Chains A and B, each alone.
Chain A
Amino acid sequence: AQSVAQPEDQVNVAEGNPLTVKCTYSVSGNPYLFWYVQYPNRGLQFLLKYITGDNLVKGSYGFEAEFNKSQTSFHLKKPSALVSDSALYFCAVRDDSGYSTLTFGKGTMLLVSP
């Protein structure tokens, strides 16, 4: 069975400071990893994904994530947070078979203060 852990329910950061939202995963086989963001009363928007290749993945809105196979982690990062980044962030994993569901973490609320 595959699983995702997002250990922080909420992350608070001041605008302009770097942010990290943590994610660890468990999956059989090679992982496909995703980050999504959800703004209030909206669906999920894709931010970035790791399939293969470089461990540092760059995505939308200046976000990036680093895949660490030995630590089974895929932490989301941004060098300088914006107030508009405040939202709910979900990490997700599926295996590399052609027939696999996508398993989500419980989400981390990011609050960026002015």
Chain B
Amino acid sequence: GAGVSQSPSNKVTEKGKDVELRCDPISGHTALYWYRQSLGQGLEFLIYFQGNSAPDKSGLPSDRFSAERTGGSVSTLTIQRTQQEDSAVYLCASRRGAGNTIYFGEGSWLTVV
């Protein structure tokens, strides 16, 4: 596609439920990032995929968070047993090569009630 596509754009879930957020990067982009932006906060790095290398999971805040990238393209971020503090915008981004621009999707707005 023309840009990074994320779905759902908005999600309201009950505390304790699991949620899956999807990211479809720009075609041909080998690197994929997930970030979290809480209300009034900056961007918090979550996880980074680069080609076939092992992902950098150093930013995942707890073991309730996991992500996978299938076939080097689409990525899914899963949050298990959601908590209210998980409410945030989850942003996905991708880039083609080492020096190339990183492009962001519009984000998935998650509200845990």
* Residue among A45, A49, A90 making CB contact with B42, cutoff 8 Å: A90
Q: How far is the CA of A4 from the CA of B106 in the complex (A)?
A: 23
- List B contacts of A43 (CB < 8 A): 91, 104-107
Name the distance in Å between A67's Cβ and chain B's nearest Cβ.
14
Evaluate contact between A102 and B33: CB separation under 8 angstroms.
yes
- Contacting residue for A32 out of B56, B99, B104, B105, CB 8 A: B99
Query: Which B residues lie within 8 Å of A105 (CB)?
Result: 42
Stretch in contact with the other chain, from A16-24, A76-84, A93-101: A93-101
How many A-B contacts are there with CB distance less than 8 Å? 52
Q: Which residues 93-113 of B sit at the A interface, judged by CB distance below 8 A?
A: 93, 98-99, 101-107
CB nearest to B89 among chain A residues: A43
Q: Does A58 lie at the interface of the complex (its beta carbon under 8 Å from any beta carbon of B)?
A: no
Chain A 30-69 residues near chain B, CB threshold 8 A: 32, 34, 36, 42-46, 49, 51-52
**Interface residues of chain A: helix, strand, loop or mixed (majority):** loop
Q: Across the interface, which residues of A come within 8 angstroms of B91, CB to CB?
A: 43-44
**B71-102 interface code vs A (CB 8 A; 1 in, 0 out):** 00000000000000000000101000011011
Interface size bucket, A side? Answer: 20 to 34
| Stretch of B11-19, B45-53, B62-70 lying at the A interface | B45-53
Expressed in whole angstroms, the Cα–Cα distance for A104 and B107 within the complex equals 16
Q: In the complex, A113 Cα to B8 Cα: how many Å?
A: 35
CB distance from A26 to the nearest CB of B (A): 16
Enumerate chain A interface residues (CB-CB to B < 8 A): 32, 34, 36, 42-46, 49, 51-52, 90, 92, 96-99, 101-107
Can you list 8 contacts pairing A with B, beta carbon distance less than 8 Å? A34-B101, A42-B106, A42-B107, A46-B101, A101-B48, A101-B56, A104-B42, A106-B41
Closest A-B pairs by Cβ, 9 of them: A106-B42, A44-B104, A43-B106, A104-B43, A51-B99, A43-B104, A98-B98, A43-B107, A101-B48
